[in-house]
């Protein structure tokens, strides 16, 4: 942060549906990352150069009451908030404006927690947005800055405890996957598979799904974000399952493809093994200081050769490709990797080189609508200082023969 700066982090709103219904509360991942506090209407204030040491980090929380305790359950006390967060100075929320005005007399810059994630879609005004409007109206002469670039670099590098938590999410995902294999057969419904995952995730103390699950049989797999999960699985088809657990707010992110009838056809196995080869090659590339552009270029070249071997591309296709529209994009139209952590598409800058202790997905795919099948295989890996990526999903079956054996033995 710049000298004489204050940074403010707000909890998320509880979003209304209609009447008196609301969506379940989801804490803003930044205030959770910095404080561990998982309660609505909380505010974190950071002022490293405050004159009084006790003002350098302050947590503001909603005051609990007997009525709130009866209807919603008790909220954090100051003592519990201090225990969870490690922040000694905890105030009730109603004192925020008084304290904030006092400290802004010392500050020259305020850091707002703006959302600059590349995939962000901002269609509603957030609690953070309302605070920014209010603050600018009250302190128009103060300089402003964004905390997002700092957090993108902090959160991209995972601490050992974070990696351990993501590993736990992956282990729960493995349980769900193995149980799902037991019920997959012709005429099973996609939503039955989803329900199996949900049951075993919650049974093993996951938060639930890390993201809206994709259970896509047959041609549904060619819709990258297929989420209805309401079709019956037919004999001879394959099912693409992009579904994973979250644990302690940390996401895992798994994709597997399995045969409805328990055995891949020759063509299905041929495409499957091509995707697996790309995934294994991509994983072998993940080392510190690797540039994302170089990584994506290598994957593009590798998958192009796989598509040629599958008869999906020929020399003319490659000769006619352009830099902006490479030939392989017809069958592989998304990225190979993204950051993973407190958000499924977690913070990080792809403009920066890769670094040790980043956690990434590796998820190449080949989608063939004309053959009514789509394949994507995805694991979660940690970039390590020694140059060998650590696969947090190494225990989750992925070889075609192993999946066939497990489905035969069910």
Mean pLDDT along residues 176-180:
98
Res. 121: pLDDT tops 90: no
pLDDT digits (tens, 9 = 90+) for 64-91: 888 988 998 889 999 999 999 999 999 9
300: which 2 tokens?
């593009």
pLDDT digits (tens, 9 = 90+) for 322-338: 988 999 999 999 999 99
Contact 210, 169 (CB under 8 A): yes
pLDDT digits (tens, 9 = 90+) for 250-278: 999 999 999 999 999 999 999 999 999 99
Q: Is 332 helix (H, G, I), strand (E, B) or coil?
A: coil
Confidence of residue 150 (pLDDT cuts 50, 70, 90): very high
pLDDT given for residue 13 in this prediction: 96
Where along the chain do its domains lie? 5-155, 157-409
- With CA atoms as reference, report the closest residue to 46 among 154, 124, 122, 133: 154
pLDDT given for residue 405 in this prediction: 97
Query: What angle do the packed helices 266-285 and 400-409 form, to 10 degrees?
Result: 120
Cα 368 to Cα 46, 214, 222, distances in angstroms:
51, 18, 7
pLDDT given for residue 224 in this prediction: 97
In CATH, what number does 157-409 get?
Answer: 3.90.230.10
What is the residue-averaged pLDDT of the chain? 96
- With CA atoms as reference, report the closest residue to 143 among 353, 258, 1, 30: 1
DSSP conformation letters of 143-189? EEEESHHHHHHHHHS--HHHHHHHHHHHHHHHHHHHHHHHH--TT-B
Res. 410: pLDDT tops 80: no
203 CB-near residues (< 8 Å, 6+ apart): none
Q: Are domains 5-155 and 157-409 of this chain identical in fold?
A: no
Architecture of domain 5-155: 3-Layer(aba) Sandwich (3.40)
pLDDT digits (tens, 9 = 90+) for 221-250: 999 999 999 999 999 999 999 999 999 999
Mean pLDDT along residues 291-296:
98
pLDDT given for residue 65 in this prediction: 86
pLDDT given for residue 74 in this prediction: 87
Torsion (CA) 35, 124, 154, 333 in degrees, nearest 10: 140
Mean pLDDT along residues 339-349:
97
- pTM here is 0.96
């Amino acid at each position: 942060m710049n000298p004489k700066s204050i940074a403010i982090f707000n909890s998320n709103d509880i979003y209304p549906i209609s009447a008196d219904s609301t969506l379940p509360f989801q804490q803003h991942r930044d205030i959770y990352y910095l404080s561990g506090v998982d309660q609505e209407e909380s505010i974190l204030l950071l002022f490293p150069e405050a004159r009084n040491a006790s003002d350098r980090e302050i947590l503001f929380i909603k005051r609990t009451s007997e009525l709130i305790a009866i209807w919603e359950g008790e909220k954090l006390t100051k003592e519990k908030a201090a225990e969870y967060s490690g922040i000694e100075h905890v105030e009730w929320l109603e004192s925020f404006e008084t304290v904030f005005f006092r400290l802004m007399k010392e500050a020259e810059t305020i850091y707002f927690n703006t959302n600059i994630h590349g995939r962000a879609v901002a269609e509603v005004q957030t609690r953070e947005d309302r605070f920014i409007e209010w603050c600018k109206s009250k302190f128009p002469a103060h300089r402003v800055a964004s905390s997002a670039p700092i957090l993108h670099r902090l959160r991209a590098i995972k601490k050992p405890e974070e990696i351990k938590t993501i590993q736990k999410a992956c282990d729960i995902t493995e349980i769900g996957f193995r149980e799902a294999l037991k019920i997959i057969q012709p005429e099973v419904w996609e939503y039955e598979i989803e329900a199996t995952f949900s049951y075993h995730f919650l049974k093993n103390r996951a938060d639930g799904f890390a993201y809206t699950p994709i259970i896509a049989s047959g041609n549904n797999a060619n819709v990258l974000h297929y989420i209805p999960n309401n079709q019956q699985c037919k004999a001879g088809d394959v099912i693409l399952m992009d579904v994973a657990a979250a644990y302690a707010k940390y996401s895992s992110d798994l994709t597997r493809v399995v045969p409805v009838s328990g055995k891949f056809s020759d063509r299905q196995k041929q495409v499957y093994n091509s995707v697996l080869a790309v995934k294994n090659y991509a994983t072998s590339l993940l080392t510190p200081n690797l540039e994302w552009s170089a990584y994506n270029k290598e994957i593009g070249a590798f998958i192009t050769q796989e598509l040629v071997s599958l008869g999906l591309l020929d020399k003319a296709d490659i000769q006619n490709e352009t830099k902006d529209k490479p030939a392989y994009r017809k069958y592989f139209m998304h990225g190979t990797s993204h950051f993973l952590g407190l958000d499924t598409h977690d913070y990080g800058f792809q403009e920066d080189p890769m670094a040790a202790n980043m956690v990434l997905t590796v998820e190449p795919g080949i989608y063939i609508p004309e053959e009514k099948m789509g394949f994507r295989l995805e694991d979660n890996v940690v970039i390590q200082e020694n140059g060998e990526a650590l696969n947090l999903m190494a225990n989750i079956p992925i070889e075609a023969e192993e999946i066939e054996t497990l489905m035969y033995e069910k």
